[in-house]
Chains A and B, each alone.
Chain A
């Protein structure tokens, strides 16, 4: 009997689960599982020289202006954000060979200009619509050629092929200072 008592007594581990549960609950509560998402943009490189003048045909440029009142001017006329996507798609692909719209998808250029007073929300909405137009076109094109939807998992060579056919060209002009907020 005396011999037995000398051995180290076993630690009661039944409360281990409780401790673990407590920690678990803590991490459960503090965890935010939402993945960071956003609209990916590649900014143009900075150069100190003024950009060289390129003469573009009027028909190949799809100009979008967003003013400080968050109104939209598409190719010189007032437009709504809701119609922007379809108009951009029609402009890029030009299925009816309209002489007013782009010559070919790889010639099309979208020019976006905003004021400093434009709200960020509107800007993102417009940018989103233009990007959506391209995404839908890419999707339609991959569907037509490969019979699958366009996605990030598509093999790179196929993706590059589609993007060479319909390149995403969005040029952003330096904004005008209208509607700048007082500092």
Chain B
């Protein structure tokens, strides 16, 4: 018996890997929850400008996105090179915005509708004309909470 015990003491016991799947699963769930798959396929080139005075956007479900930029090269034959609006997956015009906003509103609980935010993802290189038209349209339909999407810029002064 004592001989048996000695043998055991010498060998390093193998680490049990039985809980490894559990650990991996926890990590997996974490990433699954925080992942937001890009659900829109961008048709316009959007490089948002840089800024310093940024605020975080709260709950994703309360945000809808309006993309404005020049169409990608493969769409230029049809849609030209002038800046265009994209809502969801397709090109749109100013006139499509009210329905788009209303559709999003319907998916939100009534008590949260006041907190709906419009995120304007606008390319830095385009001119203000089309942005102004969108802003005017949003004002007309009473969607006043707007957010100009921007990237963080390190302050160097």
Contacts and interface: CB of A to CB of B under 8 A. Distances in A.
Contacts of A32: 36, 38
Given A31-B31, A31-B35, A43-B146, A38 B124 contact: no
A7 B126 CA distance: 71
Interface in A135-183: 135, 152, 175, 177, 179-183
Interface residues of B, number: 57
A30 B37 CA distance: 7
A17 B82 contact: no
Interface residues of A, number: 51
Contacts of B24: 17, 20-21, 24
Given A38-B149, A41-B148, A120-B49, A28 B128 contact: no
Given A20-B25, A27-B28, A125 B49 contact: yes
B127 A36 contact: no
Interface in B107-140: 117, 119-120, 122-129, 131-132, 135-136, 138-140
Interface of A: 13, 16-17, 20-21, 23-24, 27-28, 30-33, 35-46, 68, 82, 114-121, 123-125, 127-128, 131-132, 135, 152, 175, 177, 179-183
12 contacts: A31-B31, A40-B117, A40-B145, A41-B147, A45-B144, A82-B157, A116-B132, A119-B125, A179-B127, A181-B126, A182-B82, A183-B82
Which 10 residue pairs are nearest across A and B when measured between Cβ atoms? A116-B129, A27-B31, A121-B124, A46-B139, A38-B147, A20-B24, A37-B54, A38-B149, A128-B51, A36-B57
Interface of B: 17, 20-21, 24-25, 27-28, 31-32, 34-38, 48-49, 51-57, 60, 63, 80, 82-83, 117, 119-120, 122-129, 131-132, 135-136, 138-140, 142, 144-152, 157
